[in-house]
Chains A and B, each alone.
Chain A
Amino acid sequence: MSLHNRISVFRAERGISRRELAEAVGVNNQTIGYLERGDYKPSLELALKIARHFGVAVEMIFSLDRFEPIAMSLMRTGEDK
Chain B
Amino acid sequence: MKPRRRSILAMLDDSVRWTGMPARIADQISGDPDRKHRPMRWLPIWPIAFSCALLMTSLAWPAALEGVSLAVVISVMVGFCGGVFAVIPGISMNGPLGKSSLQDDEREASLRKDSFLCCLGLLAALNCLGQPLIMILSHWQHWQVPQIVSVVTSAFMLNASLLGCLPTLYASWNLPQLPRE
Contact = CB atoms under 8 A, between A and B. Distances in A.
A33 B179 CA distance: 9
A42 B176 CA distance: 17
A27 interface: yes
B6 interface: no
A28 B178 contact: no
A30 B181 contact: no
A40 B178 contact: no
B142 interface: no
Contacts of A37: 176, 178
A63 interface: no
Given A28-B34, A29-B34, A18 B106 contact: no
- The binding surface of chain A is classed by DSSP as helix
B139 interface: no
Nearest to A18: B181
Contacts of A30: 34, 107, 178
Given A17-B181, A18-B181, A26 B105 contact: yes
Contacts, number: 32
Nearest to B103: A28
Given A17-B181, A18-B181, A40 B107 contact: yes
B107 A28 contact: yes
A40 B105 CA distance: 12
A28 B108 contact: yes
B178 A33 contact: yes
A59 interface: no
A34 interface: yes
Contacts of B105: 26-28, 31
Contacts of B108: 28, 31
A22 B181 CA distance: 13
Interface of A: 17-19, 26-31, 33-34, 37, 39-40, 42-43, 45-46
Q: What 5 pairs across the A-B complex have the smallest Cβ distances?
A: A27-B105, A33-B178, A31-B107, A28-B105, A40-B107
